[in-house]
Amino acid sequence: MTPTHTIKLTIEYDGTHFQGWQLQIPPNRTIQDEIEKALNEITKENVRVIGSGRTDSGVHAFGQVAHFKTKSTLPTSTFLKALNYHLPKDISVLRVQQVKNTFHAQFSAKRKTYRYTILNRVAPSAQAWNFVYQFPCPLNVAAMKREAQALVGRKDFKSFQAANTNGKKEMSTVRTVRKLSIQKKGDLISLEIEANGFLYKMVRNIVGTLLDIGTGKLPPGSLKKILAQKNRAAASKTAPAHGLCLVKVQY
């Protein structure tokens, strides 16, 4: 019997013209679907690709991780070239590695890092509009930084969890945020958050709430109170998808 190999992919993509990561019925253009079609063409097998997690419609990635199982004996260097040949220009496979058969892109993940980028000026960007959220109102970045520290540590993030239209119910809404930084450089404000896992739209809901803190709509101490309420209605509106990027997944 031909042995099965487990192949790990590190993937970069511009999510602008995709309906997220996950394969959908009826079919829409998704990252998973494009990669599976390319792999089926290369291996002549019915390959299923498993991602580290779902990214929503319009969300980007610098370092999404996925795996698939195959009986193909093609070298990883050949897989890399063949995948990038067959994939559209808005998806790029950066790395192909053969890993242990026990590896699972989702369940083996220890930490993930997301970055949300805000363009804080009145004029939009002609070049980066797909990748930044233009927010024209002045922001008190120092206040945002102070408040954001309330999110670091092991917390119940139920207040920042959006209703999941896929019907998946989380067993627990407790997550551990290991790092959270907010940096301003010129007109760009970037929020980077590393955690052991994320709830549905958690980062975008946090960003929306921090923007209300930055404008003074919410007073100091609001984040602690919102966390304590464990109620999505207590937090602010969801920030748009196109400012969000999955930076890396650690194993």
Nearest to 244 by CA among 219, 207, 211: 207
Give yes or no: residues 116 and 11 share one domain.
no
Q: Which of these three, 99, 133, 168, is where a domain ends?
A: 99
Total domains, the chain: 2
**Model confidence over 157-177: pLDDT tens digits?**
999 999 765 556 668 999 999
- Give the 3-state secondary structure of residue 228: helix
Q: Which of these three, 50, 68, 99, is where a domain ends?
A: 99
Give yes or no: residues 87 and 119 share one domain.
no
**Model confidence over 101-139: pLDDT tens digits?**
999 999 999 999 999 999 999 999 999 999 999 999 999
Give yes or no: residues 123 and 12 share one domain.
no
> Residue 106 falls within a domain, yes or no?
no
> Residue 105 falls within a domain, yes or no?
no
Annotation marks residue 33 as catalytic: no
Residue 8: φ, ψ to 5°: -100, 135
Q: Look up residue 218 and give its two tokens.
A: 């919410």
CB 32 within 8 A of CB 85: no
> Residue 87 falls within a domain, yes or no?
yes
pTM above 0.85, yes or no: yes
Give yes or no: residues 83 and 161 share one domain.
no
Nearest to 81 by CA among 98, 97, 63, 96: 96
Give yes or no: residues 95 and 117 share one domain.
no
Q: Which of these three, 39, 74, 99, is where a domain ends?
A: 99
Nearest to 49 by CA among 75, 25, 78, 69: 69
> Residue 104 falls within a domain, yes or no?
no
Give yes or no: residues 195 and 241 share one domain.
yes
Residues 6+ apart with CB under 8 A from 44: none
Q: Which amino acid is at 112?
A: K
> Residue 32 falls within a domain, yes or no?
yes
List the chain pLDDT tens, one digit each, 251 residues. 677 999 999 999 999 999 999 988 777 899 999 999 999 999 999 999 999 999 999 999 999 999 999 999 999 999 999 999 999 999 999 999 999 999 999 999 999 999 999 999 999 999 999 999 999 999 999 999 999 999 999 999 999 999 765 556 668 999 999 999 999 999 999 999 999 999 999 999 999 999 999 999 999 999 999 999 999 999 999 999 999 999 999 99
> Residue 57 falls within a domain, yes or no?
yes
Give yes or no: residues 127 and 34 share one domain.
no
Identify the domain containing residue 244 by its residue range. 111-250
Q: If residue 40 lies in a helix (H) or strand (E), which one and from where to where?
A: helix 31-43
CB 247 within 8 A of CB 13: no
Options 56, 90, 187, 212, the catalytic residue: 56
Give yes or no: residues 94 and 117 share one domain.
no
